[in-house]
A and B are shown apart, each in its own frame.
Chain A
Amino acid sequence: MNDLYKSVPIKPSEITPYSLYLSRRDFLKAAGIMTGSALLAACAPKGTGSTLPEGEATALPVKKDEFGDPANSFDDITHYNNFYEFSTNKEAVNPLSKNLKTHPWTVQVYGLVNKPKTYAIEDLISAFTLEERIYRLRCVEAWSMVIPWNGFPLSKLLKEVEPTSAAKYVRFETLMDKKQMPAEGNPFYEWPYQEGLRLDEAMHDLTILATGLYGQPLPNPDGAPIRLVVPWKYGFKSIKSIVKIELVDKQPNTFWKTTSPKEYGFYSNVNPNHPHPRWFQNRERRIGELQMRPTLMFNGYADQVAHLYDGMDLDLWY
Chain B
Amino acid sequence: MKKFFTRYTPLQIAVHVYAWSKLVILIYQFFTHNLTANPIQALEQRTGRHAITLLVLSLACTPMNTLFKWSEPLKRRRALGLYAFMYATIHVMIFINLDYGLAWSLLVQTILQKPYILVGATGFLLMIPLAWTSFDIWKKRLGKTWKHLHQLIYLIAPLIVLHYAWGKKGDFFALTGDIIRPLIYGLIVLLFLILRIPFIRRAVASLPSRILFLFKKRTLPSEA
Contacts and interface: CB of A to CB of B under 8 A. Distances in A.
B38 interface: yes
Contacts of A277: 114-116, 166
Contacts of B116: 277-278
Given A42-B97, A259-B171, A260-B170, A287 B37 contact: yes
B97 A43 contact: yes
Given A189-B176, A260-B170, A260-B174, A278 B101 contact: no
Interface in B160-216: 166-167, 169-171, 174-180
Contacts of B114: 277-278, 280
Interface residues of A, number: 38
B144 to A, nearest CB: 39
Given A189-B176, A260-B169, A35 B113 contact: no
Contacts of B180: 186, 188
A79 B175 CA distance: 29
A189 B38 contact: no
Contacts of A36: 30-31
A79 B176 contact: no
A44 interface: yes
A263 B170 CA distance: 8
A35 B113 CA distance: 28
A76 B37 contact: yes
A268 to B, nearest CB: 14
B39 to A, nearest CB: 6
A188 B178 contact: yes
Categorize the interface residue count of chain B. Answer: 20 to 34
Contacts of A43: 97, 101-102
A143 B38 contact: yes
A95 to B, nearest CB: 13
A315 to B, nearest CB: 15
Nearest to A36: B31
B71 interface: no
Contact of A44 (B31, B37, B101, B176): B101
A147 to B, nearest CB: 12
B102 A44 contact: yes
A38 interface: yes
A91 interface: yes
B36 A188 contact: no
Given A259-B170, A277-B116, A278-B116, A32 B93 contact: no
A273 B177 CA distance: 25
Most chain B C-beta atoms within 10 Å of own C-beta, residue among A35, A186, A285: A35
A275 interface: yes
B186 to A, nearest CB: 14
A291 interface: yes
B33 A28 contact: yes
Given A35-B40, A143-B41, A188 B177 contact: yes
A39 B98 contact: yes
Nearest to B181: A88
Contact of A260 (B33, B93, B94, B177): B177
Contacts of A90: 36
Contacts of A163: none
Interface in B86-135: 93-94, 97-98, 101-102, 110, 113-116
B212 to A, nearest CB: 41
Contacts of B115: 277
Interface in A243-284: 258-260, 262-263, 275, 277-278, 280
B36 A91 contact: yes
B179 A42 contact: no
A285 B30 contact: no
Interface of B: 30-31, 33, 36-41, 43, 93-94, 97-98, 101-102, 110, 113-116, 166-167, 169-171, 174-180
Given A188-B175, A188-B179, 19 more contacts: A29-B33, A32-B33, A39-B94, A39-B97, A42-B93, A43-B97, A88-B169, A88-B178, A91-B36, A143-B38, A258-B176, A259-B169, A259-B171, A260-B174, A277-B115, A278-B114, A278-B116, A278-B169, A280-B114
18 contacts: A29-B33, A35-B39, A39-B97, A43-B97, A43-B101, A43-B102, A44-B98, A79-B36, A90-B36, A141-B41, A188-B178, A189-B177, A259-B170, A259-B177, A260-B171, A277-B114, A277-B115, A285-B41
* Closest 4 pairs (CB-CB, A-B): A80-B37, A44-B101, A76-B37, A260-B171
